[in-house]
Amino acid sequence: MKKLYIIIVSFLLITACEDLEQFPPNIASSNSLTDYEGVLNAAYFYQHGSATPMAVMGDFRADNAFMFEAPYTEFDLFGPDLTTMEDQFFGPFYTALYKSILSANNVIENSSDATEVGEAKFLRALSYFKLVRVFGDVPLNLSASPSTTDGSILARQPAATIYNNVIIPDLLDAISALGTEIVDGRASKYAAQGILGKVYVQLGDFGSAESHLAAVVNGASAAGISLQDNFADIFGVNNDLNSEIIFATQISSSIVDEYGFSEFWSWSGGLDTKSLNPLDADLVAAFDASPGDLRRAITIDETVMASPKFPQEGGPDHDWIELRLADVILLYAETLNETGSSAEAVLDLLDPIRSRAGVDPLDHTVLNTQAMVRQAIQDERRLELAFEGQRWFDLVRTGTVDAEMGETVDSKYHLFPIPVSEVLSSFGVITQNPGY
């Protein structure tokens, strides 16, 4: 069992019987503890509930996978009825991340350990980053003991406020507090810099993204971070926390998490009856356009029309990859392209990724415009990161939803519905996204 989970199990056993007033319910209160390591571990643990919803939203909403059984087919219809998926996806996602935030707040307010506070700020930033990418404007809580009488705390705050006042400052603080070494799979300086670079790319601020992504790419080797020689060795329970993984949500079958349905590896593998053959023919065509690509056999199985990327064997113990080096390299290449670097300099960054995949380097004399290089990078991201919950969010941030999906999608459906239960229980203080 992974070390972090030994600590979590112990903490959950100790605190399981406490009757605490929380918002939302949590496992520890700030005035009952002097050691906040367990509360920090809880903030890590609650990320579990976001993993499978993020996987489904990222790939099944996009053109990598599709649902077969109604009402799950709403993922592909871009209409108002996606709210019916609340119990299985949006509700657990929303609740788990706010629990992680509350635990992180507790550590930030009360721990005297600078490293613990740095990790907590990383997790709070990561949680809010996931929330705003999925829902847009969301409620903002920066307190370990939020008021239970002042309903205004439930009001959704603009995504820009969340980015500028929480996500970016928290990640900058985490960068300052954390070391480059990855210890027991916990957050590190490079995890914070990589996520911050990703945040800036999401915002279209490529100038700010560049230095953070460059720091990860250029410092990776010294920190023991490197591309795996074989693409297959990134995935599977026996490869958890391998050298390419900068940060992952660690998952253990010995601990029941917030998400009580089929896990991400089941959905992509066609093991849930709601989509027994989830592989989208459009992703098959994308691999057809990359002949000899070694990633193909790892990512898609055309016999069963599913993905073997996360093998069924050991499935319940697969970690969810939040950030790996290839992702950062591709984001860095995108950033350099958007800030005016030459096609040659940008495409050279992709060579190690493509070489591992068994395909030739891209020719900068052919792909010699910014637009052509931009498309090449996005095509590479699709093949490299398929079924890792990235595709839909890449399409939205690059403004290519309509072009890649082959239909006109109203921009209000670029976001997902706020859980209806949250809207109702707040008596309308929490509002629904337009279109739902």
- Its CATH class, for the domain covering 3-145+156-402, is mainly alpha
* DSSP structural state of residue 210: H
- Which amino acid, residue 193? Q
Name the nearest CA neighbour of 57 among 423, 436, 413, 435.
Answer: 413
What's the confidence (pLDDT) of residue 29?
Answer: 47
The helix or strand, by DSSP H or E, that contains position 403, with its residue range, turns out to be helix 401-405
Q: Report how far apart, in Å, the C-alpha atoms of 292 and of each of 287, 295, 389 are.
A: 9, 9, 24
- How high is the mean pLDDT in each 10-residue block of the chain (436 residues)? 43 32 39 80 96 97 97 95 94 96 97 98 99 98 87 93 98 98 96 98 98 98 98 96 97 80 95 96 98 98 97 90 98 98 98 98 97 98 98 98 98 98 94 97
Q: What is the CA radius of gyration of the chain?
A: 21
What's the confidence (pLDDT) of residue 152?
Answer: 81
What's the confidence (pLDDT) of residue 210?
Answer: 98
**DSSP states along 259-305:** --S--HHHHHTT-SGGGSS-B-HHHHHHHHTSTT-THHHHH-BTTTT
What's the confidence (pLDDT) of residue 14?
Answer: 33
Q: Report how far apart, in Å, the C-alpha atoms of 1 and of each of 4, 37, 250, 253 are.
A: 9, 18, 11, 10
What's the confidence (pLDDT) of residue 148?
Answer: 73
Name the nearest CA neighbour of 119 among 223, 4, 24, 213.
Answer: 4
- Which amino acid, residue 189? K
What is the pTM assigned to this prediction? 0.93
Q: With b meaning 16 or more CB within 10 Å and e meaning fewer, what string describes 30-47?
A: beebeebebbbbbbbbbb
- Residue 204 CB neighbours (<10 A): 13
User: Per this entry, what is the length of the chain?
Assistant: 436
